[in-house]
Amino acid sequence: MAMLEVNDIHTYYGNIHALKGISLTVEEGEIVTLIGANGAGKTTTLRTISGLLTPREGSISYLDKDIVGTPAHKLVYEKMAMVPEGRGVFAKLTVMENLEMGSYSRDDKAGIARDLERVFALFPRLKEREKQVAGTLSGGEQQMLATGRAMMASPRLLMLDEPSMGLAPVLVDAVFDAIVEINKEGTTILLVEQNALMALSIANRGYVLQTGQIVLHDDAAALKSNEMVQKAYLGVD
């Protein structure tokens, strides 16, 4: 049984049929990426899995439990966390306070302290700025903070929505290196990313979305060499 199984979900925004029968799986320990153009349904898929949207049809199983209809905040207690598009840090709180907010679902003080050190080891810049107000951080630092805050929930499944958006290339590399490291330490990753080349370079498998449907699914190496993917998403003529 896969860690996450999404089966034929249909999600709507009012009368707009945004997801039209999406099915995907994520196995424990994998990095799986969803790629596609703007408006393809990538973010809607993550929002549906994480409980922010409820599908009208279909099922979602996580750790062998049906989670459709489970509120998003309850899923944090089930060891699922999401880093939203646009980062969503608490701008008026300090770096440390943001990280503490990430651990609200836990009461194991020793584990929280251990994970805090882990976040600071992954993102030394956050350690340097732990007393700084989050709203004054750069975009890259805010992305690090949002990722670190999600890690403070000690998730088994971490979902990231467009982590490279708006970042300088050097910071994109740093964020993707951190995602690989988080995965190596045992966290399963579901990644939505417009930078398809970067996403496919770290993923095990990928799904290609177009207008609310999955049009292609394969391992990452095969997708990188697929002619349609190269032309549409990798900038190869």
pLDDT digits (tens, 9 = 90+) for 107-132: 899 999 999 999 999 999 999 999 99
Assign 183 to helix, strand or coil.
Answer: helix
Task: Please state, in angstroms and rounded to a whole number, the distance separating the CA atoms of residues 151 and 129.
Answer: 18
Any domain includes 138: no
Residue 169's Cβ-count burial label (10 Å; 0-12, 13-18, 19+) is exposed
Range of the domain at 76: 4-88+156-233
Contact 223, 207 (CB under 8 A): no
Contact 119, 167 (CB under 8 A): no
Terminal Cα-to-Cα distance of the chain (whole angstroms)? 40
**What is the reported pLDDT for 117?**
94
Task: Please state, in angstroms and rounded to a whole number, the distance separating the CA atoms of residues 139 and 9.
Answer: 33
Q: How many domains does the chain have?
A: 1
Any domain includes 113: no
What is the model's pTM?
0.93
**Mean pLDDT, residues 77-81:** 94
**What is the reported pLDDT for 229?**
92
Q: Identify the helix (H) or strand (E) that includes residue 62.
A: strand 57-62
Which CATH number belongs to the domain containing residue 19 in this structure? Answer: 3.40.50.300
Any domain includes 122: no
Assign 209 to helix, strand or coil.
Answer: strand
Per the model's pLDDT, the better-predicted residue between 133 and 87 turns out to be 133
Residue 201 reports pLDDT greater than 80? yes
Average pLDDT, the chain: 94
User: 207 is written with which tokens?
Assistant: 């799904």
Any domain includes 139: no
